[in-house]
Every structure is written in structure tokens, then in C-alpha cells.
């Protein structure tokens, strides 16, 4: 199957990054968001990122214009009828995702593949709400999408070999390294990463050390490029909590219990960099 047109549903940090990366790879991309203002904001973020690359000499102005010309904003989800692949990148919420996939199943032609950028939720459960479970797959990009090379490719129980091969080839054309993993809560990336972040939050909660000290230990002692608490702020503490809850409920082991301090911060609206405050302060940034 030849892929020419892609819709990205969800224009936040991940969705805009996926749209940019797909357009840079030569695909025509429709960027959709339930909130038109979010879609426009995502598009402006793409332009800003590309223009910065041109200023630093990593792209020519002509290349930037060509990439931007391949991205259009979709005012309605119904435009998914023109897509060969739809990549969902909305909030990490099963109810919201299954509602979207049901709608896409009705809108899209029979050949369209439906991929989820979920970072922890079961692909099999998402696929089950459609009449095309063989065409549903997980395509988990890493943040920031234009920079990070990994894409976890997750088959659901009914995902066909053809779908898996097509999505693997798509990831490669987008300049990524696809790695196939099985459909378990958190897959590999977040099953390993989030418990580490959660344990770092417990270190803060129990008074073992201050945030900067915890992060310095992991950066200087374990050669991590970013400390776990700073990374949690960049991921979003609400997203971290959602993934930990999926791990805890899906695997049934108390070692995945979210730290109470994480819950407290999320309830306070301290979501990390996007809200201006998490484990660190980020100036006068407004909530998004």
C-alpha cells in the first residue's frame, strides 16, 4: 500500500511534531484538532520550529516553504476520508480515544490505517471499537518528535502483518527507527521510564533530596541527558500520572502505585513546563 496522505488528529506538542516530521518526509499532512485554536497554535509551532532551523542553517528557506506547503489545517474530522493513514495524538484517555476511533472508522475508506500515538493504553482495546481491528496499530513517537529517532510499533491482537509492515515502512520513511513491541501496559518505553520517574518523585516526597540534587545524581552518576524530575515536567505531570495509573491498574502490582506527591501536584494544576510550574518554575509561562 502506498501512503501519500496522512491526517494527524490532535495538534498538541506530539501531534504537531508528528505532522512536521511527516511533512519533512514528503507526505501531505492534514492537521486536525477538536479545538480550532489548538490546531492553529500547533501549526504556528511547526512554522516557528522550521524557521529556527533555517536561521541556524539546518534548512534552506526553500525547504521550509516546501514543508509548510505540505501541511494544511482540517476544520473537520470528516476530512479523514482523504487519508491513507490517520495518526491519533490526543490526550492519554481511553474514553476519548475510543470515541475518536469509532468516528474515524465510520468516516475513513476501507483501506485507511488507524494508528494511535498512545504511550501506554492497550491497542487491542482501542481496535475493538472499530470494524477494522486488523487495520489498527500503535505508533508511539518519542518527544520531541522531530529529534527523537524511536517509534514503538505495537500490534493489537488482530493487527495484520500487512498493517505492521506498512506502518514500519512509514516510520522508516519519516526518518525513525521502528521497534516492534507487544501490547502490554506502558509497552517498553514507559514501563521502564515512568517507574523511575515515580521513584524519583518518592525521593522528593520522602525528603531524601531536593529536586536539583535528585536530577544531578541521575545526570552525573548515570549519564542521563536530563534528570527524571525535569523530564517529568517536560512530559507533563498529568501525563505521567495517567501512565502510572495505567501501569498500576493494568499490571496489578503495588510497585506501580503513583506517588501521592504526583497526585497532589496534578490536583494543584502544577503540570510542569506547560503550566509554568511543576518540580521547577518556568517563569511567567501561562497554562496551555
User: Which of 45, 74, 117, 140 does the annotation list as catalytic?
Assistant: 140
Residue 74 annotated in active site:
no
C-alpha distances (whole Å) from 254 to each of 34, 111, 114, 205 are 36, 42, 33, 17
Phi/psi class of residue 91: alpha, beta or left (left: φ > 0; alpha: ψ in -120 to 50)? beta
Phi/psi class of residue 163: alpha, beta or left (left: φ > 0; alpha: ψ in -120 to 50)? alpha
User: Which of 74, 116, 117, 119 does the annotation list as catalytic?
Assistant: 119
Residue 172 annotated in active site:
no
User: Which of 88, 92, 152, 275 does the annotation list as catalytic?
Assistant: 152
Residue 119 annotated in active site:
yes
Residue 275 annotated in active site:
no
User: Which of 117, 190, 198, 275 does the annotation list as catalytic?
Assistant: 190
Alpha carbon distance, N-terminus to C-terminus of the chain: 38
Please spell the DSSP secondary structure of 220-285, one letter per residue: IIH--SS-HHHHHHHH-HHHHHHHHHHHHHHH--GGGPPPHHHHHHHHHT--BGGGTBSSSB-TTP
Q: Which residues are known catalytic residues?
A: 119, 140, 152, 190
Amino acid at each position: 500500500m502506498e501512503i501519500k496522505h496522512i491526517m494527524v488528529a490532535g495538534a498538541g506538542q506530539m501531534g504537531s511534531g508528528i505532522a512536521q516530521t511527516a511533512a519533512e518526509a514528503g507526505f501531505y499532512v492534514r492537521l486536525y484538532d477538536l479545538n480550532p485554536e489548538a490546531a492553529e497554535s500547533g501549526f504556528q509551532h511547526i512554522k516557528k520550529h522550521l524557521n529556527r532551523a533555517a536561521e541556524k542553517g539546518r534548512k534552506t528557506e526553500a525547504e521550509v516553504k516546501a514543508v509548510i506547503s505540505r501541511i494544511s489545517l482540517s476544520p473537520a474530522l470528516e476530512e479523514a476520508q482523504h487519508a491513507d493513514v490517520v495518526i491519533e495524538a490526543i490526550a492519554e484517555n481511553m474514553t476519548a480515544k475510543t470515541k475518536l476511533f469509532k468516528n474515524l472508522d465510520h468516516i475513513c475508506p476501507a483501506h485507511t490505517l488507524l494508528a494511535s500515538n498512545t504511550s501506554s493504553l492497550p491497542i487491542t482495546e482501542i481496535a475493538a471499537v472499530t470494524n477494522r481491528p486488523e487495520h489498527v496499530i500503535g505508533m508511539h513517537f518519542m518527544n520531541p518528535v522531530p529529534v527523537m529517532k524511536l517509534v514503538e510499533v505495537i500490534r493489537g491482537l488482530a493487527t495484520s502483518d500487512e498493517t505492521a509492515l506498512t506502518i514500519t515502512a512509514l516510520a522508516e520513511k519519516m526518518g525513525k527507527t521502528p521497534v516492534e513491541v507487544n501490547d502490554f501496559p506502558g509497552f517498553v518505553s514507559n514501563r521502564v521510564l515512568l517507574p523511575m520517574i515515580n521513584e524519583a518523585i518518592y525521593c522528593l516526597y520522602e525528603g531524601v533530596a531536593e529536586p536539583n540534587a535528585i536530577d544531578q545524581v541521575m545526570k552525573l552518576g548515570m549519564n542521563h541527558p536530563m534528570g527524571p524530575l525535569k523530564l517529568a515536567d517536560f512530559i507533563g505531570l498529568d501525563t505521567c500520572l495517567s501512565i502510572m495509573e495505567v501501569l498500576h491498574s493494568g499490571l496489578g502490582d503495588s510497585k506501580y502505585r503513583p506517588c501521592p506527591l504526583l497526585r497532589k501536584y496534578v490536583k494543584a494544576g502544577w503540570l510542569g513546563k506547560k503550566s509554568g510550574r511543576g518540580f521547577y518554575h518556568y517563569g511567567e509561562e501561562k497554562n496551555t
